[in-house]
Each structure stands twice: as C-alpha cells, then as structure tokens.
Structure 1
Amino acid sequence: MSTSRESLTQAFQNKSAVIGVIGLGYVGLPLLDAFISKGFRCVGFDVDAKKVTELNAGRSYIKHVSSEKVGGWREAKKFEATADLSRLKEPDALIICVPTPLTDSRDPDLSFVEGTARSIAAALRPGQLVVLESTTYPTTTRDVVLPILEEGGLVCGRDFFLAFSPEREDPGNAKYSAAGIPKVVGGMDPAALELAAAMYAQAVVSVVPVSSPEIAEACKILENTYRAVNIALVNELKTLFDRMGIDVWEVIDAAKTKPFGFSAFYPGPGLGGHCIPIDPFYLTWLARKYSMTTRFIELAGEVNARMPEYVVMRLMEFLNELGKPIRGSRICLLGVAYKKDIDDPRESPSFVLMELLLARGATLTYNDPHVPKLPKMRHHPSLPEMASQELTPEFLASQDCVLIATDHSAYDYAEIVRHARLVLDTRNATSKVTAGREKIRKA
C-alpha cells in the first residue's frame, strides 16, 4: 500500500490525479474551480440530472461561478459532470460536498452523506482517497462514513484512505474564494492526512493539518457557533436598545473603533444560509447523546429564531401609527437571498417573514435582483408562486410599506425612500439616505 500512497502523492503533486467532487452546489462548484484553475482534470457528480445537463452545456446556475468559467472548463476538457455514480471508481480522489440539513426536530439529517457513502462503497477501488467536506458533528467521519465504506470488504488505511476537511465557502465574498481560504484537514490515519494535505496544497493557499477527523469536524462547528452566538447577542441588544430609543447600529460603529478585544457582529431579521442557523444544533444534538446540555448555544438559537416575529411586530406598530392594520396592507419585501449580493436563498429569514405576513393577512410582494422567481423551499411549502416585482416609482408608491430584509448593493435606497410611503429597515441599509428620513423605521 505504501507504493500506492507514494504514487497517489506524486499524482497530486504533478497534477495528473483526477479529482471527483460529489454535490455540485454552492460548495462543490467553487471547489472544482480551485482545482481546475490549478490544472487538474475533474469529474463532478450529482443526482440532479438538470444540473448535470446545464454544466455540460457550459452553463452555471450559481452566480459566483459564472457560465463563462464553466464553459472554459469544458473547452479545456478539464471538466465533465455526470449523474452516473458507477463512475465514482474513476477519480483518484473523491470529495463529498452534499447537504447536511436538520430534521423538523432539529436532529442532524445525514441521509445525503450516508447515501453518498453507499454509492462510493459500491464503486470504491483500492488506492482512492475519500474526503468528507459536508459540515457535520464530530465523529461522523469515523462512526458513519467509515463503516459504510468498509462494507464492501476494502479496509481503510490499507486499501483506501479517508479524511475530513470542512468547507469554508462564503458565497458572495469577493475577497476569499475557495482557493484563498486555508483548508483544515484531519485524516483517519497519518497516511490519509498526508494524502489529503498533498491534494489540497495544490489548490488552496495553505493547509492546516490536525490530529484527527474529529478535530477538523469540531473546528467547523466552533467557527459557526461562534458567529451564531455573537449574532444572537447583538440581536438581543437590538431589541433592548430599540425599547430604550438607542440606535444599536451606531453603538456597534462606536464599539468597533476599539483596536482590540471586540469584533463587530450585526443584527438582522434572523439567520440565513446553510451553516450558521444549522451547525450549532449539530452540537446540541451531540451533547444530548453525552447526557449534557448546551444551554448557551440553545439560547442563542432561540434568540435568533425569534427575530422574524420581532420584525413583524415592529411592522405592526409602525402601520398602527398610520392608522392601518397589517391585514390588507400592501407589503413589499426586499431581498429573499439570505445575505447581500448573492442568489443563495437557503434558510433565508425572508421566507419566515413571508409566512408571518401572509398569516396576518398582508398583501405580499417581493423584489430580489438575484432571485427572479421564488424558489420552492423544503421548510416553507405553503408559500405561493411569486415573481420579483420591478421597483418602479409607481409600484413603490402603491405599497403601504417596503420591508428591507436583505441589503443588496443593487438597490437605490434613496430612490426607494423617495417613493415609498413607509420603509422598515432591518439591515441599516438606509443609513446614508438623507431625504425622507421621517418615512424610515428600523427593526
């Protein structure tokens, strides 16, 4: 096996190795870009035939990986996509980038990881490296993925290699692409760590080796729990300061002038994205298995989950000032992506806001320059089909309130305030608007 390890290491170093990426979404496509741009040939796997067809035609469905880039991969014969999982035996390395959502009871849903591991096991050949990147709780690689991969008779460390390296993708962040973010890597054994580090070293800015997959898994959970807890803190302070008549945004701007001991986090209408609203609950679930509670994390989750309700209550207060009930009021929600300047709607608090507004009888519309049609969302099946409305002066003037849920840079906030009757700003997006401030409320 040492000969196989040496030849695989050499293949990574001379870039003759074929890299397989399973899951062609917001994590998989940027990762492919990192490897292909360094000269590797890659195969992308996905069970969604529509995605496969689009990519093989040179078309991207993700904003920050352009169709021009995907077309370039195809023209250079460096990439092909397939839904044929029997071909998993072809690449030298397989990187798993599939979703890890929560169930309705906030337990980890590893069905995508387990299904992928079974597909790999059916095709696994000696000498392959398998790396799990999907965010999950510590011990998943060892206790869930490893036994499935060994069901076919091959033995980890002897016949194949297994490691964990958490994805750190930040959609919409122009400063940090997948290639520019250090990769933490933990291997099941020293050989797996060496191979995974050798592979990633060819594609990313630096590799951070750690002693086990559990350390690497826990690292990602810590990163996102840190953010979730700090966002909960400023969300809770926001509700307090609002009652006191204090602008939390100005407070944060003042606090962040301190050059040490403070990192700025910002309030909003709730948490969005695939990581921060979900990952801390992996840890609370794992704690229960060890007969422990993570009260701090659970409280942060409760605070953040309450924010959409708080926003709607503030909206009701402001409409009451104008003598209008929320029932029958025309509300336009700006932004359904979970953060600014991206097309990713996963776990966006905008969908919760929509449900709350519709339940209270509002006449609801939305606009998002990055999301032209309201996608079907797993946890919000009751939302009606909707298309983004053009923000003409006439349309804005016809609305009883414009609710800013996502602060996209494409919005002309001065024009929105000029024509709208009332603007409810959850993101401090109108802070530089001078005219018409009497129409702006913050929540």
Structure 2
Amino acid sequence: MPADLAVIGLGHLGLPLVQAAVAAGIDTVGYDTDPRPCAELRAGRTPVEGSLTASEVRRMLSGGFRPTTSAAELGRVRTAVICSPTPLGPDRTVDLTALRDAARALAARLRPHTTVLLESAVPPGTTENVLRPLLEEGSGLVAGRDFHLACSPSRLDPGNRTHTYASTPKVIGGLTPACTESAAAFYGRLTDKVVRARGPREAEMTKVLETNFRHVNIALVNEMAVACHDLGVDLWDVIRCAETKPFGFHPFRPGPGVGGHGVPVDPGSLPYSGRTPGHPLRMVSLAQEINDRMPSYVIQRCATLLNEHGKSVRGARVLLLGVTYKPDSADQEASPACEIAGRLMDMGAQVGYHDPHVLDWRVRQLPVPRADSLYEAAAAADLTVLLQQHRTYDLQGLAVKAQLLLDTRGATPAGAAHRL
C-alpha cells in the first residue's frame, strides 16, 4: 500500500518524526534493516528506551503507522527521510555506515519527483559528497532535476515537554531552491516554523555549531568546577549569581560527564573539508578532552571522600543514583555512569545503583545490583553518588539518610552534601 512518507531508521531520531507525522495525518511507513525495532513496534512497545511510551506507540499504530523491514515500501512514497544513526567510530570520526546502507536501499527504488531528506547528524558536505552520489548511482536519477534532496538536521530534546517537535523550528538546506521549497512544504505540516538555510552545508554546519556550543560551554563550567573546588569556592553559588546578568551570559552546569546523542564534530578533520586544511577546531578538541576527564575526576573525589572518612575504595559499598544521560528519561546514550561504575569496580568497590527509569543495568555486560529501597540502600552504602537528578528523588531526605553523599549535579540544598 503506498504511503506519503517513509522514515528510514527507527531509532531515537526516526521515532519522534514518525510520531509527529502520524499526528499530522500523514500516512507513514517506517523502514529499518534490523527486525528487532520493527517487531517491538508491531507489538506496541518502544524499541528505544526514553523515546516513546507504549501508549504513544499504540496510538501511532492505530493512526496507520506501518513498521517494516521490506525495502520495497521505499519505492511507493512521496517523501523519504533518512534518520540513520551516525555514531563516533573508534578514531572519533563519524561512522556513516548506516547512512550509506540506507541510501543504497532507497536508491534502488527511488522514483522521480520524490523528496529525499537527511535528518541524521553528519559532518558538513555529507549530503552532497556522500548521499547524493549514492542516490544518483543507484537510481540513475539526478538530484535537483529528477528528485529533490535536502538536509534538515534533527533537533530533539528527549523528554522535553516545552520544546516539542512542532514548536521547534526546522532548519532546511536544499540542493537547489526548488529542493528547499519541497522540503519546506513537507516540514511545514509538522512544525510551526521553517528556517531556510542557503544550502545543505549550511544546514549541516548548523547542527555542528549547536552541538559544539553545548560541549564547549559544558567543558568551561567543568573546568570551573575543578578550579573552584581546589580554591574552596562554591561554584554553584557563583553560577547562581552569574545567571542574574541579563546579557552576555548563558548558564551551564557541570556534571560527571557529557552524555546524549549529539557528539562534538570537528569539520577541519574531514577528508572533504578541503577549504580549511590544517585548521581544526582546537576549541572543540580541547572541550572533548576536558569533558572526557570528568568521570576520572568524579572517581578521584569519591576516593578522597572515602579516605577522609577512614575508608578505602576497595571493599566500599558505593551506590550510584541516576544512570541515564539526562533527568527524567530512560535514555542512557553515552551516559558517564557506565565509565564511573566500571572504574569503581576496577578499584574493588561494591557498586550498586538506583534509577526509577532503568530497571536493568549492565556494565561491561555484567548486571549491576539494583536497589529496591532507595533510602535503605543509601543508609547502608559507604558512599552515595548522585549522577542524575531525577525529579522523583527527595534530595533533602536522601542527604539525611546517606552516610556520605557526593552530588555531581549541584541539586542538593547547600551544605547537605559534598558537591562537585
């Protein structure tokens, strides 16, 4: 059965798009080469923790959404949106394997007048230098003449009820002005505002700037956290005061590390960034280096606190609170909790955890014991470490119950715990 839209990649990017499209009355098919997410969705369950609830999935299915592993469905749509994952590889460059696979599957079935959109986070130049050749070679069609091609990088904040898909402006950069307008016509059905970029590279670079802005500013405040602790200065009070400035300042908070799906990208390191050879974004590299050090710094603080109270890390009972990358969400993407737990285990600590959104947690493929009773577990632990400030945590009560509490988020009342 033909559909108006095909969403390729049913992960953390594709599912919110499907939800928005179905809510707008767009007949939607979802394609993924992995049968697991399709099977989960057909059964009314979400395949991605922290993305959708079971009731939201059921509403999507009742609205006509069809998840499938059949690539034949891609040849029957007016619009195809690629939402493939683009993680960092071992060399810290973006892995475009899934995107290339999606492009080849679509190209073999691409019809004239189809609009192809890319939402995956990619380095500048990917739409023109990677996606376009694959689509043209596989289909025999020419982008900008026979079919429309544009980039509109995803802007998602999982769990955010204020900035929804509809209320968040979509940036669009088409290969030609006609491509941009075709993409704008589609996204205009889903969002309140469409922002036209000059082209695909400008749209791609917008995502790079937004992601790097977050990482660089978190790195700055993480360095401030370490410096303030060494100087005996209350960083959290400093931030409280600084954020009263009505201009020239935007508050960020430190933490045990930086998680999330957006990864910092240095366009200067790309093979096709020929206009800036030898000019990497040093600020981005330095920010990543600083943020990568934060789990080690948390471990150092843990060891120091235990030592000050006459205990060693070896044999200590350590309770980690909140193992997701953001509050009030089950999403664990790149959460620093795994590295922190692993390092504590290496040092001989007995690690347990509590998280209202994560019922089963594994580190290095090994299950970590989950505390059923938060207060009892905190009272029994030699050290409790708050890694994520879920709304359900009564931090004042927790500070009373815990023998020793390290707050890496500055969420506890002043003086109630040791803060990062």
Instruction: Please list the CA deviations of residues 118-163 of structure 1 after superposition, one character each: whole Å capped at 9, or x if unmatched.
Output: 1111221222111110001100000001100011211112221111
Which of 100, 112, 117 pairs up with 1:114?
100
1:429 counterpart residue number: 411
More moved, 136-145 vs 405-414: 405-414
1:172 counterpart residue number: 159
2:264 counterpart residue number: 279
1:351 counterpart residue number: 338
Which of 221, 233, 253 pairs up with 1:246?
233
Which of 37, 45, 48 pairs up with 2:31?
45
Which of 176, 179, 182 pairs up with 1:189?
176
> CA offset at residue 387 of structure 1?
4.9
Which of 15, 19, 24 pairs up with 1:33?
19
Partners of 1:291 and 1:431 lie apart in 2 by 48
2:257 counterpart residue number: 270
Task: Tell me, yes or no, if the aligned pair for 2:170 and 2:191 is still in contact at 8 Å.
Answer: yes
Task: Tell me, yes or no, if the aligned pair for 1:172 and 1:341 is still in contact at 8 Å.
Answer: yes
1:388 counterpart residue number: 370
User: Residues 387, 49 of structure 1: CA spacing in aligned structure 2 closer, same or farther, 3 A cutoff?
Assistant: farther
> CA offset at residue 285 of structure 1?
4.4
1:232 counterpart residue number: 219
> CA offset at residue 393 of structure 1?
3.4
Partners of 1:386 and 1:320 lie apart in 2 by 24
Superposed, 1:37-436 pairs within 5 Å as 37-61=23-47, 62-76=49-63, 78-152=64-138, 153-275=140-262, 278-281=263-266, 284-285=269-270, 290-374=277-361, 382-431=364-413
Partners of 1:282 and 1:82 lie apart in 2 by 35
User: Residues 86, 290 of structure 1: CA spacing in aligned structure 2 closer, same or farther, 3 A cutoff?
Assistant: farther
| TM-score normalised by the chain length of structure 1 | 0.90
Q: Which runs of 5+ in 1 are unaligned?
A: 1-15
Residue 376 of structure 2 aligns to which amino acid in structure 1? E
| TM-score normalised by the chain length of structure 2 | 0.94
Residue 403 of structure 2 aligns to which amino acid in structure 1? R
Secondary structure, aligned partner of 2:132: helix
Secondary structure, aligned partner of 1:416: helix
Secondary structure, aligned partner of 2:406: strand
Task: Tell me, yes or no, if the aligned pair for 1:336 and 1:350 is still in contact at 8 Å.
Answer: yes
Instruction: Please list the CA deviations of residues 284-331 of structure 1 after superposition, one character each: whole Å capped at 9, or x if unmatched.
Output: 546697222322111111111101101110111110111111111111
Secondary structure, aligned partner of 2:202: helix
Task: Tell me, yes or no, if the aligned pair for 2:268 and 2:280 is still in contact at 8 Å.
Answer: no
Residue 384 of structure 1 aligns to which amino acid in structure 2? L
Task: Tell me, yes or no, if the aligned pair for 2:87 and 2:95 is still in contact at 8 Å.
Answer: yes
Task: Tell me, yes or no, if the aligned pair for 1:397 and 1:419 is still in contact at 8 Å.
Answer: yes
Partners of 1:387 and 1:82 lie apart in 2 by 36
User: Residues 70, 79 of structure 1: CA spacing in aligned structure 2 closer, same or farther, 3 A cutoff?
Assistant: same
2:9 counterpart residue number: 23
Task: Tell me, yes or no, if the aligned pair for 2:215 and 2:264 is still in contact at 8 Å.
Answer: no
More moved, 45-54 vs 306-315: 45-54
How many aligned residue pairs are there? 415
Percent identity over paired residues: 41
Partners of 1:294 and 1:424 lie apart in 2 by 34
